[in-house]
Structure formats: structure tokens, C-alpha cells
């Protein structure tokens, strides 16, 4: 296949769209989120539709909350 071929861009676009679709459907909601009130990390449990806390805290969130309290 030649680089100047007219089919190459179409093939590349189809491959990239396929990769995006694959990433979209394989994306699970297991990425940790931050509770804005406690700064604790949690994941959303889709089976029981509840937050599952990880006993970890986000240091940037805690620093920001401490700055707001000292004013």
C-alpha cells in the first residue's frame, strides 16, 4: 500500500474510530472519585448503586479545605 494511496486515510480513520469505540465501551466506572465533603476517595459500586470508600484521602483536596478554613 502506497502512502499516497486514497484508501490509506480512510483505513486510518476507520481504525482510529474503532479504537475510540472500543475505549468507550470498555471504560468501567472503577476510577476513584473524590467525595467533596470528606476528601475521601471512593468508587461507585454499580451493583448496589452506592459509594465504596477506599480509606484514602486526596492530599490536594485536604490542603484546599484547610486553606478555606484558615480564612
Mean pLDDT on 64-69: 80
Question: Quick check: is 57 in a domain?
Answer: yes
Question: Quick check: is 66 in a domain?
Answer: yes
* The total number of structural domains that make up the chain: 1
Question: Quick check: is 56 in a domain?
Answer: yes
Query: Residue 40 belongs to what domain range?
Result: 21-70
Question: Quick check: is 14 in a domain?
Answer: no
Does the pLDDT value for residue 26 go beyond 60? yes
Does the pLDDT value for residue 58 go beyond 80? yes
Question: What is the rounded distance in angstroms from the CA atom of residue 34 to the CA atom of residue 39?
Answer: 6
What pLDDT shows up at residue 68?
Answer: 73
What pLDDT shows up at residue 2?
Answer: 63
Find the distance separating the first CA and the last CA of the chain, reported in whole Å. Answer: 66
- Count of CA atoms in the C-beta half-sphere (13 A) of 18: 6
What pLDDT shows up at residue 40?
Answer: 92
Output DSSP code: residue 22: H
Amino acid at each position: 500500500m502506497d502512502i499516497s494511496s486514497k484508501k490509506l486515510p480512510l483505513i486510518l480513520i476507520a481504525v482510529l474510530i474503532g479504537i475510540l469505540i472500543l475505549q468507550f465501551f470498555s471504560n468501567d466506572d472503577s476510577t476513584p472519585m473524590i467525595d467533596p465533603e470528606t476528601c475521601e476517595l471512593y468508587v461507585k459500586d454499580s451493583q448496589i448503586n452506592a459509594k465504596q470508600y477506599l480509606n484514602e484521602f486526596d492530599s490536594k483536596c485536604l490542603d484546599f479545605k484547610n486553606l478555606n478554613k484558615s480564612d
